[in-house]
Structure 1
Amino acid sequence: MKRIEVLQAGGPEQMVLAEAPEPALRPGEVLVRVAAAGVNRPDVQQRRGLYPPPPEASPILGLDVAGVVARTADDVTWPPPGTPVCALVNGGGYAESCAVPAVQCMPIPNGFGFVEAASLPEVFFTAWNNVIMLGRLAEGESLLVQGGTSGVGLAAIQIATQLRGSTVYATAGSAEKCRVCLDYGAAAAIDYRTEDFCARLRELTQGRGVDVVLDGQAGPYTDKELGLLAPDGRVVLIASHLGAMAEVNVRDIVRRRLTLTGSTLRPRPPAYKGRIARALVEEVWPLLADGRIRTRIHATVPLAEVAAAHGMLEAGEQIGKVVLIVDPALVTAGPG
């Protein structure tokens, strides 16, 4: 099979198309013939040498795929061979075949093709894990999404508004990106390049603050976000692009009963990810099928041109998801 390999940590030019054997299956796994694969920021970090895969995970880039199950381990009852699926994978998505824990596979939502389906797993798993499970967003609470037009940001906005009736505020880096946030359900969008997002949030919430903040910047943002929380509020960090260290007001955390937490989903065991997969299929997939929740594809790129896809993410150009076309014939044929 063909796959993308990283010669050494560095720039996009370090990724090359190579031939390799199909991955062997372990108990509980299925082999997916990949039609399309999502491109995510953790892929960029792994290529740079900043995000090593967990032990026993594939060293090949790629965290979400869509395709058709080719074969299964003996202990797998679902999905059977021939089933179109999309899946969160532990690595190995940038390849024609990928081994996936069966519990992390999901049916493709009604009306979706393989490209649209490949854009779903990583961002919706991440949004659900951090907004619902760790952020404990309750009915009617408010949410601030930092970076609202990332794939995770758009997923979080829609989960919060559609499933929790939340008032969602978002930040983004241009007027166009702010318009997209509003189109996907945000009550207000703040251009952080031209406005003080803290001052604007205090104005929008009449000084109360928000109940939950979802952020991937950390560093100097951390204490600012704690200061934006309402009593009993929660900040959930999913990355630290602005820095690994932060100085925070601990007395304020204690006095106002605030929570500062974070997560990395990739090292979690399949059973944990399987819980999220079941919740998404039950609660989010019907809303995708009827159009109340949407995905957004920024661009599709052939597998051999993966460097261009990474370049889009590094330049911050994308609004939504970049997807690799791994098997053009399968993409054209569709899930059937």
Structure 2
Amino acid sequence: MRAVLIKDGKGPLENLYIGETEKPTPAAHHVLVKIKAFGLNRMDISQREGKYPPPVGASTVLGVEFSGHIAQVGKDVEKWKEGDEVFGLAGGGAYAEFIVVPQTNVIAKPKHLSFVEAASIPENWLTAFQAVVLVAEIKAGDNVLVHAGASGVGIAAIQLSRAYKANNVIATASTQDKLDWLLSLPSGATHAVNYKTQNFADEVKTITNGHGADVVIDFVGRTHFEKNIQSLALDGRMTLLAFLSGAELPFLNLGPILYKRLRIQGSTLRSRSAPYQADLIAQ
């Protein structure tokens, strides 16, 4: 089958090429999907650059989300049949004509979604669901702060927060165009802050009448961490998803973490076990 491969195993964008690789065969509880579309994620770029190896046992071909139709089922698969339209999550291998995944890693594609739209959902929405619902344990009435609001996961986190009846959903971004767009989205942000020109911690306190953010979803790390601590309310929960500005802090006052009873937790998806991912997808 054809796949997008990387010359020398890693390198710049120019090292990508379409070549031939072995077509996978589904095991007993797996399905073979003929891919129609796949998602492009930051982790794909990091993997191409040699900074993010795929999980042990996963395909070295890029791509973790896809859509298509079932081309073949393993002998013990009962839920799916050939021709079913699906979208799903993988540890790698989506930049190809075919992919094999556990039968639990695909979801029936709704008719109203195109294959391109469906392929954009799994990594973004499952990451956001895990971060907002499972880790941060959002509750109705919570105030939520979402950084990198215009990113795929950021958008999903915003809309999930609205679906779970958050009070205020405050998004940060770097340009007025992004802020306006986030406010205009269906179930979009209730407030938007330019983190380059505004102190988002002060803005959060103003918007929430001094209460603070009950939930913070952060991808940025170093440059935002101190203001995140300032932004968080009593018993606040912060989920860390990435460190785009760096992972090391030169100095941190641990006091507020203690006296505000804060909970700070990291969250990843690609490295989680197949049973964990299956349970997450089912939820």
Q: Same fold (TM over 0.5)?
A: yes
Partner of 1:249: 253
Look up the equivalent residue of 1:131 and give its one-letter code.
V
Secondary structure of the structure 1 residue equivalent to 2:37: strand
Could you tell me whether the CA contact under 8 Å between 1:135 and 1:236 is conserved in 2? yes
Look up the equivalent residue of 1:188 and give its one-letter code.
H
Could you tell me whether the CA contact under 8 Å between 2:27 and 2:75 is conserved in 1? no
Secondary structure of the structure 2 residue equivalent to 1:164: coil
Secondary structure of the structure 1 residue equivalent to 2:25: coil
- Distance in 1 of aligned mates of 2:12 and 2:5: 13
Partner of 1:130: 131
- Distance in 2 of aligned mates of 1:234 and 1:172: 21
- Distance in 1 of aligned mates of 2:227 and 2:199: 11
Look up the equivalent residue of 1:219 and give its one-letter code.
R
- Distance in 1 of aligned mates of 2:193 and 2:110: 32
Partner of 1:45: 46
- Distance in 1 of aligned mates of 2:182 and 2:59: 34
Pairwise CA distance, 1:147: 0.9
Secondary structure of the structure 2 residue equivalent to 1:138: coil
Pairwise CA distance, 1:176: 1.0
Indicate yes or no: 2:271 matched with 1:270: no
Look up the equivalent residue of 1:200 and give its one-letter code.
E
Partner of 1:103: 104
Look up the equivalent residue of 1:39 and give its one-letter code.
L
Look up the equivalent residue of 1:26 and give its one-letter code.
A
Alignment of 1:264-303 (within 5 A): 264-279=268-283
Pairwise CA distance, 1:207: 2.3
Secondary structure of the structure 2 residue equivalent to 1:26: coil
Secondary structure of the structure 1 residue equivalent to 2:159: helix
Pairwise CA distance, 1:249: 2.5
Look up the equivalent residue of 2:268 and give its one-letter code.
T
Partner of 1:218: 221
Could you tell me whether the CA contact under 8 Å between 2:175 and 2:194 is conserved in 1? yes
Please, which moves more after superposition, 247-256 or 41-50?
247-256
Look up the equivalent residue of 1:66 and give its one-letter code.
S
Structure 2 unmatched ranges of 5 or more: none
Pairwise CA distance, 1:109: 2.2
Partner of 1:153: 154
Look up the equivalent residue of 1:214 and give its one-letter code.
I
Could you tell me whether the CA contact under 8 Å between 2:139 and 2:164 is conserved in 1? no
Pairwise CA distance, 1:222: 1.7
Pairwise CA distance, 1:163: 2.7
Pairwise CA distance, 1:251: 2.2
Pairwise CA distance, 1:38: 0.6
Look up the equivalent residue of 1:230 and give its one-letter code.
A
Secondary structure of the structure 1 residue equivalent to 2:10: coil
Could you tell me whether the CA contact under 8 Å between 1:79 and 1:105 is conserved in 2? no
Pairwise CA distance, 1:159: 0.8
Structure 1 unmatched ranges of 5 or more: 280-336
Q: Paired residues, what number?
A: 279
Could you tell me whether the CA contact under 8 Å between 2:2 and 2:97 is conserved in 1? yes
Please, which moves more after superposition, 83-92 or 14-23?
14-23
- Distance in 1 of aligned mates of 2:214 and 2:253: 18
- Distance in 1 of aligned mates of 2:78 and 2:253: 51
- Distance in 2 of aligned mates of 1:150 and 1:48: 21
Q: Higher RCO, 1 or 2 (CA under 8 Å, sep at least 6)?
A: 1
Could you tell me whether the CA contact under 8 Å between 2:221 and 2:247 is conserved in 1? yes
Distance 1:23 1:191, change over 3 A: same
Pairwise CA distance, 1:196: 2.2
Indicate yes or no: 2:233 matched with 1:230: yes
Look up the equivalent residue of 1:276 and give its one-letter code.
L
Pairwise CA distance, 1:275: 1.9
- Distance in 1 of aligned mates of 2:133 and 2:20: 40
- Distance in 1 of aligned mates of 2:242 and 2:28: 32
Alignment of 1:153-192 (within 5 A): 153-184=154-185, 185-192=188-195
Distance 1:255 1:19, change over 3 A: same
For each residue in 1:266-310, what CA deviation from the matched residue of structure 2 results, as whole angstroms up to 9, or x when unmatched?
Answer: 11122211222222xxxxxxxxxxxxxxxxxxxxxxxxxxxxxxx
Moved over 6 A (4+): none
For each residue in 1:161-212, what CA deviation from the matched residue of structure 2 results, as whole angstroms up to 9, or x when unmatched?
Answer: 0233442000112111101111222111112222222222222222221001
Secondary structure of the structure 1 residue equivalent to 2:264: strand
